[in-house]
Amino acid sequence: MKNSTTIKPRILLVDDEPNILASYGRGLRRNWDLITAVSGEEGLHEIRENGPFTIIVADFNMPRMDGITFLANSINLAPESIRMMLTGEGDFQIATKAVNEGNIFRFMTKPCSLENLERSLAAGYRQYQLQQIEKEARQQEIQIAGEIQQTLLFEEIPSEMQDAQLASISIPSQSVDGDFIDFFKFAPTKFDIVIGDVMGKGVHAALVGAGARNHLSRVIWNLSRRQSEDPTPAAIMQALDNNMQEQLGQLGKFITMVYARFDLEQYTLNYVDAGHVPTLWYSKANNEWKPLKGRNFPIGIPMARAAEQFEIKFGYGDLFLFYSDGLSEGRDKHGWQYGDKRFMHALRELPKNSAQTFLRLLVNDFKSFIGHSNYADDLTIVVVLIA
């Protein structure tokens, strides 16, 4: 590798023999930003305190912590680093174990000349650069797909209706998912809220979600033109399932979904829940939250019976929360789940006189717990306040 005015790639070399480290160090520091460590434990400390490193090289035969164990432990601390192993052992099983457990890019036998080591480092650096190019390409694809997802999967919900306030949010995850929401208005005081979640992740799930929204619009239009009355949520969901059953089966997908119709004259909610997380209903009169559960299979799984619709009577000041499992199942960096207990505590404590304020404070509580901006699943929420 030639000298350059650019920043030198950072290398961590771990070997329990100081004379070997010194010998390699004299030759490597011309072209590489070299850090050395004399044990696996010290190497892990260097990664924690002074990482990241472009390449990590370790000797196999070290006391207390051998090179395979060290490199395997380094994966969580430095997942993007290229890993290599130096060893005097010629055992094929050691090489296989090193590749499998330590995610080794190259296995080098001792004695290894400085020239051979530099050739291996140069190859490792090229591999690192390739990984970074691929990572940037994936991130760009995800960004573009996320923009498409927001355009195709999320209907803009009005903030106010006659006698109701509405608020919604969708925060995409670190990958593209299949969450979607939709809104239909049948009369000044009658509207439908739809929230769905396609099984799986990625662009595939997002495209299935976009297809489901398209099918849903066609189903409602076809049913509406055949009859004088508005089609019921049960009729809509049954027709949607009939239309998509074969296609979803071929794709190996299914969709959890809630279709809910608010009638602000009759103060009724009619809904069909197809395997989605239950909608939550806050009754102001009783000052309590209730889950609105259904008994239907997700869309795409053959139904043994017709779609079942439920009706409730609500009152002034009641609040409804539609959401995806990305809310209750969100995890912090330690893996702890936001969970039902904290979730329900937040719901009980939050003020319920504004849909927008309620949504903002709920999302803030979730974000303060999660502590990072990369979510494993989409965060999709719709709030309806009867006001």
Mean pLDDT of 279-304: 91
> Can you give the pLDDT at residue 271?
98
> Can you give the pLDDT at residue 4?
47
If one counts every other C-beta atom within 10 angstroms of the C-beta of residue 84, the result is 25
> Can you give the pLDDT at residue 328?
79
> Can you give the pLDDT at residue 99?
63
Whether residue 231 has a cis bond before it, omega within 30° of 0: no
Which of 376, 320, 9, 283 has its CA nearest to residue 166? 320
Alpha-carbon gap, residue 199 to 372, rounded angstroms: 24
Cα dihedral value 42, 135, 85, 55, nearest 10:
-50
Sheet holding 255-263, edge to edge: 177-187, 190-201, 255-263, 268-274, 310-313
Q: Is the pLDDT of residue 2 over 60?
A: no
> Can you give the pLDDT at residue 95?
61
Q: Is the pLDDT of residue 3 over 60?
A: no
Q: Is the pLDDT of residue 333 over 80?
A: no
Alpha-carbon gap, residue 314 to 286, rounded angstroms: 11
In contact, 184 and 156? CB cutoff 8 Å: no
List, in order, residues 6 or more apart from 159 with CB less than 8 Å away: 165, 166, 167, 355, 356
**Please, what are the domains in the chain?**
10-142 (3.40.50.2300), 154-386 (3.60.40.10)
> Can you give the pLDDT at residue 104?
85
What are the C-alpha distances in Å from 134 to residues 130, 171, 177, 186, 289?
6, 25, 20, 47, 47
Q: Which of 29-33, 122-126, 192-196, 304-308 has the lowest mean pLDDT?
A: 304-308
Q: Is the pLDDT of residue 225 over 70?
A: yes
What is the tens place of the pLDDT at every residue in 19-47? 999 999 999 999 999 999 999 999 999 99
Confidence of residue 339 (pLDDT cuts 50, 70, 90): confident
In contact, 255 and 196? CB cutoff 8 Å: yes
Q: What is the DSSP letter of 316?
A: T
- More confident call, 156 vs 191: 191
